[in-house]
Protein backbone atom coordinates (compact mmCIF):
# COMPACT_ATOMS: atom_id res chain seq x y z
CA UNK A 1 0.00 0.00 0.00
CA UNK A 2 1.36 3.40 -1.03
CA UNK A 3 0.89 5.96 1.76
CA UNK A 4 2.53 8.90 -0.03
CA UNK A 5 -0.80 10.74 -0.11
CA UNK A 6 -0.70 11.04 3.70
CA UNK A 7 2.44 13.16 3.56
CA UNK A 8 2.84 16.73 2.31
CA UNK A 9 4.00 16.84 -1.32
CA UNK A 10 7.13 18.75 -0.31
CA UNK A 11 8.10 15.99 2.12
CA UNK A 12 7.44 13.31 -0.50
CA UNK A 13 9.63 15.05 -3.07
CA UNK A 14 12.35 15.48 -0.45
CA UNK A 15 12.29 11.79 0.46
CA UNK A 16 12.41 10.78 -3.21
CA UNK A 17 15.88 12.33 -3.30
CA UNK A 18 16.95 9.99 -0.51
CA UNK A 19 15.40 7.03 -2.34
CA UNK A 20 17.77 7.82 -5.17
CA UNK A 21 20.74 8.06 -2.83
CA UNK A 22 20.07 4.66 -1.22
CA UNK A 23 18.98 3.09 -4.54
CA UNK A 24 15.71 1.80 -3.14
CA UNK A 25 12.14 2.89 -3.92
CA UNK A 26 9.66 2.50 -1.09
CA UNK A 27 6.21 1.07 -1.58
CA UNK A 28 5.28 2.57 1.80
CA UNK A 29 6.87 5.99 1.95
CA UNK A 30 5.57 6.49 5.49
CA UNK A 31 8.16 3.98 6.71
CA UNK A 32 11.00 6.11 5.40
CA UNK A 33 9.36 9.25 6.74
CA UNK A 34 9.06 7.72 10.22
CA UNK A 35 12.66 6.48 10.11
CA UNK A 36 13.72 10.11 9.70
CA UNK A 37 11.46 11.65 12.34
CA UNK A 38 13.27 12.44 15.58
CA UNK A 39 11.51 12.36 18.94
CA UNK A 40 12.14 16.08 19.43
CA UNK A 41 10.06 16.89 16.32
CA UNK A 42 7.18 14.66 17.45
CA UNK A 43 7.16 16.28 20.88
CA UNK A 44 6.93 19.76 19.38
CA UNK A 45 4.35 18.85 16.71
CA UNK A 46 1.91 16.52 18.42
CA UNK A 47 -0.98 17.73 16.24
CA UNK A 48 0.63 15.98 13.24
CA UNK A 49 0.31 12.54 14.88
CA UNK A 50 3.70 11.47 13.56
CA UNK A 51 5.65 8.63 15.15
CA UNK A 52 9.29 8.97 16.07
CA UNK A 53 11.97 6.63 14.73
CA UNK A 54 12.94 4.89 17.99
CA UNK A 55 11.05 1.64 17.36
CA UNK A 56 12.51 1.40 13.87
CA UNK A 57 15.96 2.11 15.29
CA UNK A 58 15.49 -0.81 17.69
CA UNK A 59 14.59 -3.11 14.82
CA UNK A 60 17.30 -1.75 12.56
CA UNK A 61 19.99 -2.52 15.11
CA UNK A 62 18.99 -6.20 15.08
CA UNK A 63 18.59 -6.35 11.29
CA UNK A 64 21.99 -4.75 10.77
CA UNK A 65 23.75 -7.18 13.10
CA UNK A 66 22.14 -10.16 11.34
CA UNK A 67 22.93 -8.89 7.85
CA UNK A 68 26.52 -7.95 8.65
CA UNK A 69 27.01 -11.39 10.23
CA UNK A 70 25.68 -13.01 7.05
CA UNK A 71 27.91 -10.86 4.83
CA UNK A 72 31.03 -11.57 6.89
CA UNK A 73 30.46 -15.33 7.06
CA UNK A 74 30.20 -15.46 3.26
CA UNK A 75 33.14 -13.13 2.67
CA UNK A 76 35.51 -14.68 5.24
CA UNK A 77 34.87 -18.44 5.35
CA UNK A 78 38.26 -18.96 7.02
CA UNK A 79 37.54 -16.66 10.00
CA UNK A 80 36.59 -18.12 13.37
CA UNK A 81 33.84 -16.76 15.62
CA UNK A 82 36.19 -14.41 17.47
CA UNK A 83 37.59 -12.89 14.29
CA UNK A 84 34.11 -12.43 12.82
CA UNK A 85 32.95 -10.75 16.02
CA UNK A 86 35.89 -8.34 15.92
CA UNK A 87 35.15 -7.30 12.35
CA UNK A 88 31.46 -6.87 13.08
CA UNK A 89 32.13 -4.76 16.18
CA UNK A 90 34.52 -2.61 14.18
CA UNK A 91 32.03 -1.70 11.44
CA UNK A 92 28.78 -1.71 13.47
CA UNK A 93 29.17 1.08 16.00
CA UNK A 94 28.25 4.74 16.25
CA UNK A 95 31.18 6.26 14.38
CA UNK A 96 31.10 4.21 11.15
CA UNK A 97 27.29 4.28 11.13
CA UNK A 98 27.32 8.07 11.41
CA UNK A 99 29.90 8.35 8.65
CA UNK A 100 27.77 6.17 6.38
CA UNK A 101 24.77 8.33 7.27
CA UNK A 102 26.80 11.37 6.18
CA UNK A 103 27.68 9.62 2.92
CA UNK A 104 23.96 9.16 2.18
CA UNK A 105 23.24 12.73 3.44
CA UNK A 106 20.78 11.34 6.00
CA UNK A 107 21.09 14.49 8.12
CA UNK A 108 19.45 16.54 5.38
CA UNK A 109 16.24 14.53 5.67
CA UNK A 110 15.75 14.21 9.44
CA UNK A 111 12.85 16.09 11.03
CA UNK A 112 14.12 17.72 14.24
CA UNK A 113 12.57 19.88 16.94
CA UNK A 114 13.67 23.50 17.06
CA UNK A 115 15.89 22.99 20.10
CA UNK A 116 17.66 19.98 18.63
CA UNK A 117 18.03 21.79 15.31
CA UNK A 118 19.59 24.81 17.02
CA UNK A 119 22.08 22.61 18.89
CA UNK A 120 23.39 21.07 15.65
CA UNK A 121 21.40 17.84 15.81
CA UNK A 122 21.87 17.14 12.11
CA UNK A 123 25.57 16.67 12.72
CA UNK A 124 25.42 14.65 15.94
CA UNK A 125 26.79 11.15 15.51
CA UNK A 126 24.19 9.67 17.87
CA UNK A 127 21.26 11.09 15.87
CA UNK A 128 22.82 10.19 12.51
CA UNK A 129 23.67 6.61 13.48
CA UNK A 130 20.23 6.03 15.02
CA UNK A 131 18.49 7.41 11.93
CA UNK A 132 20.62 5.23 9.68
CA UNK A 133 19.60 2.13 11.65
CA UNK A 134 15.98 3.25 11.39
CA UNK A 135 16.31 3.57 7.59
CA UNK A 136 17.71 0.03 7.51
CA UNK A 137 14.63 -1.16 9.41
CA UNK A 138 12.38 0.75 7.03
CA UNK A 139 13.93 -0.99 4.01
CA UNK A 140 13.53 -4.34 5.77
CA UNK A 141 9.87 -3.71 6.64
CA UNK A 142 9.13 -2.44 3.14
CA UNK A 143 11.09 -4.86 0.96
CA UNK A 144 12.07 -7.85 3.05
CA UNK A 145 15.33 -9.47 4.04
CA UNK A 146 16.94 -9.84 0.60
CA UNK A 147 16.47 -6.15 -0.22
CA UNK A 148 17.94 -4.92 3.04
CA UNK A 149 20.76 -7.46 2.87
CA UNK A 150 21.65 -6.17 -0.60
CA UNK A 151 21.65 -2.57 0.63
CA UNK A 152 23.79 -3.34 3.69
CA UNK A 153 26.28 -5.45 1.73
CA UNK A 154 26.70 -2.61 -0.75
CA UNK A 155 26.85 0.20 1.82
CA UNK A 156 29.25 -1.49 4.25
CA UNK A 157 31.64 -3.04 1.74
CA UNK A 158 34.09 -0.08 1.82
CA UNK A 159 34.26 -0.31 5.63
CA UNK A 160 34.83 -4.06 5.51
CA UNK A 161 37.52 -3.61 2.86
CA UNK A 162 39.24 -0.96 4.99
CA UNK A 163 39.20 -3.34 7.94
CA UNK A 164 40.82 -6.17 5.99
CA UNK A 165 43.56 -3.84 4.73
CA UNK A 166 44.37 -2.46 8.20
CA UNK A 167 46.23 -4.73 10.65
CA UNK A 168 44.74 -2.92 13.65
CA UNK A 169 41.14 -3.25 12.40
CA UNK A 170 40.04 0.25 13.44
CA UNK A 171 39.55 -0.52 17.13
CA UNK A 172 42.82 1.23 17.72
CA UNK A 173 42.29 1.84 21.45
CA UNK A 174 41.82 -1.85 22.16
CA UNK A 175 44.76 -2.82 19.96
CA UNK A 176 47.01 -0.27 21.65
CA UNK A 177 45.93 -1.27 25.14
CA UNK A 178 46.57 -4.95 24.42
CA UNK A 179 50.01 -4.12 22.99
CA UNK A 180 50.90 -1.73 25.80
CA UNK A 181 49.88 -4.09 28.56
CA UNK A 182 51.62 -7.11 27.06
CA UNK A 183 54.86 -5.35 26.12
CA UNK A 184 55.21 -2.51 28.63
CA UNK A 185 52.81 -3.53 31.44
CA UNK A 186 51.27 -0.03 31.24
CA UNK A 187 47.82 1.23 30.29
CA UNK A 188 47.75 4.24 27.90
CA UNK A 189 46.41 7.47 29.36
CA UNK A 190 44.18 9.86 27.38
CA UNK A 191 43.65 13.55 28.16
CA UNK A 192 41.69 16.29 26.42
CA UNK A 193 44.08 19.13 25.60
CA UNK A 194 41.98 21.33 23.35
CA UNK A 195 38.52 21.79 21.85
CA UNK A 196 37.47 24.39 19.34
CA UNK A 197 34.72 25.29 16.90
CA UNK A 198 30.97 26.01 17.34
CA UNK A 199 28.90 23.78 19.61
CA UNK A 200 27.29 21.93 16.68
CA UNK A 201 30.63 21.20 15.00
CA UNK A 202 33.30 20.99 17.71
CA UNK A 203 36.72 19.48 17.13
CA UNK A 204 38.41 17.74 20.07
CA UNK A 205 42.15 17.15 20.42
CA UNK A 206 43.35 14.31 22.63
CA UNK A 207 46.85 13.54 23.85
CA UNK A 208 47.74 9.93 24.56
CA UNK A 209 50.68 8.96 26.76
CA UNK A 210 52.37 5.69 27.55
CA UNK A 211 54.78 6.99 30.23
CA UNK A 212 58.45 6.88 29.19
CA UNK A 213 57.47 5.14 25.93
CA UNK A 214 55.47 7.33 23.57
CA UNK A 215 53.20 10.37 23.24
CA UNK A 216 50.75 10.89 20.39
CA UNK A 217 47.85 13.17 19.53
CA UNK A 218 44.63 12.81 17.61
CA UNK A 219 41.64 14.98 16.77
CA UNK A 220 38.02 14.28 15.86
CA UNK A 221 34.42 15.45 16.01
CA UNK A 222 33.89 13.56 19.24
CA UNK A 223 36.18 12.66 22.12
CA UNK A 224 35.85 8.97 21.20
CA UNK A 225 36.91 9.63 17.62
CA UNK A 226 39.83 11.76 18.78
CA UNK A 227 40.97 9.02 21.17
CA UNK A 228 40.79 6.43 18.38
CA UNK A 229 42.85 8.67 16.11
CA UNK A 230 45.41 9.28 18.86
CA UNK A 231 45.68 5.52 19.43
CA UNK A 232 46.06 4.99 15.68
CA UNK A 233 48.91 7.51 15.55
CA UNK A 234 50.57 5.86 18.55
CA UNK A 235 50.35 2.44 16.91
CA UNK A 236 51.97 3.78 13.74
CA UNK A 237 54.79 5.32 15.79
CA UNK A 238 55.37 2.08 17.66
CA UNK A 239 55.35 0.13 14.40
CA UNK A 240 57.96 2.49 12.93
CA UNK A 241 60.05 2.15 16.08
CA UNK A 242 59.83 -1.64 15.86
CA UNK A 243 60.99 -1.61 12.23
CA UNK A 244 63.87 0.74 13.08
CA UNK A 245 64.99 -1.57 15.88
CA UNK A 246 64.95 -4.60 13.61
Give me the pLDDT at residue 87, please.
82
Same domain, 109 and 195: no
Give me the pLDDT at residue 243, please.
59
| Complete edge-to-edge strand list for the sheet that includes strand 203-210 | 189-196, 203-210, 214-220
Give me the pLDDT at residue 25, please.
97
Same domain, 141 and 176: no
Cβ neighbour number for residue 224 with a 10 Å cutoff: 16
Give me the pLDDT at residue 93, please.
82
From first to last of its 246 residues, what are the pLDDT tens digits of the chain? Answer: 444 448 999 999 999 999 999 999 999 999 999 999 999 999 999 999 999 999 999 999 999 999 999 999 999 999 888 778 878 877 888 888 998 999 999 999 999 999 999 988 999 988 999 999 999 999 999 999 999 999 999 999 998 888 777 644 457 888 888 788 878 888 899 999 999 888 777 889 999 999 989 999 999 888 888 898 899 899 888 887 765 665
Give the three-state DSSP class for 189.
strand
Non-local (6+) Cβ contacts of 126 within 8 A are 94, 98
Give me the pLDDT at residue 246, please.
53
* Residue 133 designated active-site: yes
In the chain, how many domains are there?
2
**Active-site residue identified among 57, 61, 205, 225:** 61
* Residue 195 designated active-site: no
Cα 90-23-137 angle, rounded to 5 deg = 55
Give me the pLDDT at residue 29, please.
96
Does the predicted TM-score (pTM) go above 0.85? no
Same domain, 92 and 202: no
The domain of 198 spans 172-245
Same domain, 159 and 189: no
Q: How many angstroms separate the CA atoms of 163 and 90, rounded?
A: 8
Same domain, 102 and 195: no
**Active-site residue identified among 52, 116, 133, 227:** 133
Amino acid sequence: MDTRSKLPNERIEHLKVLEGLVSYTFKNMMLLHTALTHRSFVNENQDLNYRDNERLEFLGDAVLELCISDVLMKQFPEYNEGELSKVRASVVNEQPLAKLAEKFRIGNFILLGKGEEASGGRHKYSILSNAFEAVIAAIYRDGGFEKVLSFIARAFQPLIREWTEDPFHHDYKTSLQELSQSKYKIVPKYSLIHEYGPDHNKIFEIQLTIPDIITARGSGRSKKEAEQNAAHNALKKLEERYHDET
